[in-house]
Chains A and B, each alone.
Chain A
């Protein structure tokens, strides 16, 4: 960091930073949306099918749990490349922002699903038993008990997932995905333009801070009583 001249900040290509920020936000927003759409049901399924739970299906649970573990143990960079055929099939291209979204979603679903499972496990068994004693059917238990009771935890899980996704987007540069992280690597690391790195890292920091603050505020608003 020695000899860094603040005036260099003036030479930063701000329009490119702007494009990169937009790319990151797009990747983050779209992939978070799809992660929740697919990961929430996955988490619920993991929870209710686990041994001793509401609809215990030990074999189904073992298979799902294994798949989740496999996907979570693959480094994201590998996932980016392995998924290229699937990405081509789904969005018609395997590069750029659109090409990055499929691997981001596939990488984040098992992560979020597992978090959801853990949040649901924290729900008091007595409350579930009470609803069973009132004749609640499984869908009623899921939508009227599990999800509302777990809402603060679920928002917390979504926040953690969003922050993790910001980290993943940095690697999307490998397939030309763009975004702030990619910019930091290409300019800041590979071309020794420290000022670009500082700006992008600062922006990423602001983004993560904003996500966490917004998530915490939501949790606080829906915490009970």
Chain B
């Protein structure tokens, strides 16, 4: 669906050249939700702006379906952009228009519908985002979450095949964030709409995304399925971003080992085993007794999963045999002796 190849972009700042994007490549499949995460200044904002060419890369290509956007003349690009929705952190609604007027705006720009058809489409979109009763209000009369719903309705107006979300929930409180994420997941499912989002919040990735790229200093340092990245993070930046979620805490192992002085096991559960009493079963079969040190049980998108760090207090079998035994129960076990 989207193919980004070797994108680079530099900015000059106080005489120095700074690489906002450094040879970034990624692919997004049709119908998936793709997350790009990084700290501020990592280049993710520049990257998402390069996907609809609000920002022109210095080099590299962006291909959408069969169409290479980076090769399109301005007029054709404008036409194509009508079907690439974008949602913004600060909503960017027109203050001079009502809620309905804001949703109608992209329809007016496209100019393909009659006024009556536009009105009907506006009603339909407001229904979809749950704001049918607020059509005649001004954006200033809405809460942040409601404003973002208007932003989403507006982005969907011309039946886009791609939706870009630029920190769409970063200005919202946690509860409102959840409702907006649920709405985006809903839209993705209902309309089979491909979504690319950037965020600095791993929670957003965990709840919403299928695949993720982790960015740091203009580079993609890690990418993969969200499950893999959460459960087996490879890069230090990824691990530090995961810190608040409880996943991927490799660096704490040393501290625990020093404190309790027994061999450690890292157990990773994905799907069904998360919900069954695996530890209890293995314990009875092998005499394994463990001390629970840290861990998390959670859901990634809709898959239950978890990761536990345990200290081995006693065991009837040799430690190297344990991974095999846990594997039979569908649990990944790493011995950190």
Measured CB to CB, the residues of A under 8 A from B are 124, 126-127, 129-137, 140, 144-145, 148-149, 151, 224-225
**A129-B54, A144-B109, A225-B140 are contacts. A135–B94 as well, Cβ < 8 Å?**
no
Flag B77-110 by CB within 8 Å of A: 1 or 0 each. 0111110101010101111110000000110111
With beta carbons under 8 angstroms apart, the residue of A127, A129, A135 that contacts B82 is A135
How far is A135 from B86 in the complex, measured between Cα atoms in Å?
Answer: 11
**A140-B109, A151-B96 are contacts. A133–B52 as well, Cβ < 8 Å?**
yes
Question: SS class of chain B's interface: helix, strand, loop or mixed?
Answer: mixed
Measured CB to CB, the residues of B under 8 A from A are 52, 54, 78-82, 84, 86, 88, 90, 92-97, 105-106, 108-110, 138-141, 154, 158, 164
- Min CB distance B228 to A, Å, is 32
How far is A126 from B105 in the complex, measured between Cα atoms in Å?
Answer: 15
- Min CB distance B71 to A, Å, is 17
User: Is B88's CB under 8 angstroms from A126's CB?
Assistant: yes
With beta carbons under 8 angstroms apart, the residue of A130, A137, A148, A225 that contacts B86 is A130
Residues in chain B near residue A133, CB distance under 8 A: 52, 54, 81, 84, 86, 164
How far is A126 from B213 in the complex, measured between Cα atoms in Å?
Answer: 25
User: Is B141's CB under 8 angstroms from A225's CB?
Assistant: yes
**A126-B88, A130-B92, A145-B94 are contacts. A224–B109 as well, Cβ < 8 Å?**
no
Closest to A136 in B: B109
Closest to B82 in A: A135
How far is A4 from B138 in the complex, measured between Cα atoms in Å?
Answer: 57
Residues in chain A near residue B78, CB distance under 8 A: 135-137
Residues in chain A near residue B109, CB distance under 8 A: 131, 134-137, 140, 144
Residues in chain A near residue B97, CB distance under 8 A: 148
User: Is A148's CB under 8 angstroms from B96's CB?
Assistant: yes
Residues in chain B near residue A134, CB distance under 8 A: 81-82, 86, 105-106, 109, 154, 158
- Min CB distance A134 to B, Å, is 4
**A133-B86, A224-B138, A225-B138 are contacts. A144–B108 as well, Cβ < 8 Å?**
yes
Residues in chain A near residue B158, CB distance under 8 A: 134
19 pairs, CB–CB < 8 Å, chain A vs chain B: A126-B90, A126-B92, A127-B92, A127-B94, A131-B105, A132-B54, A134-B86, A134-B105, A134-B158, A135-B106, A135-B110, A136-B78, A136-B109, A137-B109, A144-B105, A144-B108, A145-B94, A149-B95, A224-B95
Given contacts A130-B88, A133-B164, A225-B140, 14 further A-B contacts (CB under 8 A): A127-B92, A127-B95, A130-B93, A131-B109, A132-B81, A134-B106, A134-B158, A135-B78, A135-B79, A135-B109, A136-B78, A137-B78, A148-B97, A225-B139
How far is A77 from B81 in the complex, measured between Cα atoms in Å?
Answer: 53
Closest to B90 in A: A126
Closest to B75 in A: A137
How far is A82 from B181 in the complex, measured between Cα atoms in Å?
Answer: 66
How far is A149 from B138 in the complex, measured between Cα atoms in Å?
Answer: 13
Closest to B55 in A: A129
- Min CB distance A180 to B, Å, is 37
User: Is A225's CB under 8 angstroms from B95's CB?
Assistant: yes
User: Is B81's CB under 8 angstroms from A135's CB?
Assistant: yes
How far is A224 from B86 in the complex, measured between Cα atoms in Å?
Answer: 24
